[in-house]
Structure 1
Amino acid sequence: MDPIRLPVEGPGGFRGALRHTAFRNIWFAQLAAQLADKFLLFSLIILAYHISGGSTSVAVTLLAYTVPAVLFAPPAGVIADRLDRKQIMMWCNFGRAAVVALIPIASVIPGVKDDFFHLLVITLLFSAIGQLFGPAEAAVIPTILPREALITANSMALLTMVLTLVVGGVLAPVVSRIDLYAPYWCAVVLLVIGGTLIFASEIPRLERRKPSPVEESRSRFRVMLHDLQEGI
């Protein structure tokens, strides 16, 4: 049986999808952000072990990295449904860059350099902000690509996630050997690149869903709470 292959040429292929400038910018932004994310993940493991010298701190760091994905994914979807997606993706990258920069900055502050608690707080904040990018990107892609290219776009997103996981796992230990805090500056640069690419993209603003008569009678807070409950 022949293996299933996604088309390369044509409007629904990889090259066809990349001909759309907005999608190309978003995909490269995703590539940069995902690489920064995975780079940071492995670098945090190395730094946590370096600071505390135990496997428990590594486990707690991984927990801090993954918990926001469970807690903040539903609210992130609601926020992405109500705010400008381009602004969300752009400031998500810039915000995470600022948060990551706190790690090497803290390394030169007396009393904080070898403190494990601040690393956990930064990890939680970084991961929480990152939950906003995915829903916003998922909402934007169908507006900038033809229907026949959507499957290819999803495949490229999955491929990006896998490749950056491998590359991040290989490079993080190498760069950390050169300088323990160098990976974080690399992540900052990648996230700034990602945010800049989003800023340069022409992304149509989605029209907000027209509220039903029932929703019009509710307060804005109750409508958001209702959407959040549906997301959960």
Structure 2
Amino acid sequence: MEEPIRFPVEAPGGFRAVLKFTAFRNIWFAQLAAQLADKFLLFSLIILAFKISGGSTPVAITLLTYTVPAVLFAPPAGVIADRMNRKQIMMWSNFGRAAAVALIPLAALVPGLRNDFLHLLLITLVFSTVGQLFAPAEAAVIPTILPRSALITANSMALLTMVLTLVVGGALAPILSRIDLYTPYWVAAVLLIVAGALIFASDIPRLPPTTEPPVAESRSRFRRMLADIKEGL
């Protein structure tokens, strides 16, 4: 007789119990900071694109540039997260996005770029593309640092974080933009640096070691990664 499928149950103690796991706590706070930075950028880009162009079409193009990488690069990002060091992926995803965000106010200091719409699109594309690496790496790490009974609670926290940061980012981005049009980008860059530092401080399990020599192992992983990407596409 087949055994019934046993689904994980919510961890006793709810959110507090899950946050007692140091690695998960660091990753969750990193996710909170990164998601808030992401939403800050989303709404701030809408404001900045409208200020630069004064029309709705550039705003729509900016949003399209922001969302297209999620469609194009999500499958390869998932494969990369399965094959490479997930801690490094999450950490450098945050640091890379922080650098990209900081380019927006820095470019505004250059007279020829201050009101240039093209450079804004390019930075947005880079930011969104690099950001696709974080979520699949995080999703792959969570089951390795939490007991099975805590996974539903962890997933609930991730969903709640996404919704709350959308609300907070949408509310605060216009307020900060009134102080200065580029203030939200500095705030987002700082939040992403904090997120990267939290990942750096986290004890995240590495991928299982192999018996292959380092060079052969790298080549083998790269070949498998390409094969998985082709299969996914």
TM-score normalised by L of structure 1: 0.90
- Residue 226 of structure 1: SS of its match in structure 2? helix
| One-letter identity of the residue aligned with 1:193 | V
Q: Deviations over 1:166-206 (max 9, x none)?
A: 00000000000110000000000100000000001111112
SS at match of 2:82: helix
Measured after TM superposition, the shift of residue 14 of structure 1 is 1.1
Match of 1:34 in 2: 35
Match of 1:159 in 2: 160
Pair 1:109–1:45, CA change in 2 (3 A): same
- Retained in 1: the 8 A contact 2:44–2:177? yes
Residue in 2 that maps onto 1:180: 181
Asked if structure 2 preserves the Cα contact closer than 8 Å seen for 1:7 and 1:14, the reply is no
Q: CA deviation at 1:155?
A: 0.6
1:62-211 equivalent positions in 2, closer than 5 A: 62-207=63-208
Asked whether the 8 Å contact 1:8–1:15 carries over to 2, the reply is: no
Distance in 1, Cα, partners of 2:185 & 2:173: 10
CA drift of 1:15 comes to 1.1
Deviation readout 1:95-152 (Å, 9 max, x if unpaired)? 0000000000000102111100000000000000000001100110000000000000
Do the aligned partners of residues 219 and 207 (structure 1) sit closer, same or farther apart at CA in structure 2, a change above 3 Å counting?
closer
* Counterpart residue identity of residue 224, structure 1: M
Q: CA deviation at 1:16?
A: 1.1
Gaps of 5+ in 2: 1-8
The answer to whether the 8 Å contact 2:10/2:149 transfers is no
Instruction: Tell me if structure 1 keeps the 8 A contact 2:40–2:170.
Output: yes
Q: Partners of 1:165 and 1:8 in 2: how far apart?
A: 26
* Moved beyond 6 Å, runs of 4+: 208-211
Which ranges of structure 1 fall in alignment gaps of 5 or more residues? 1-5
Partner of 1:49: 50
The alignment of Structure 1 onto Structure 2 pairs a total of residues equal to: 220
Q: Distance in 2 between the 1:142 and 1:39 partners?
A: 29
RMSD value, Cα: 2.0
Percent same amino acid at aligned positions? 76
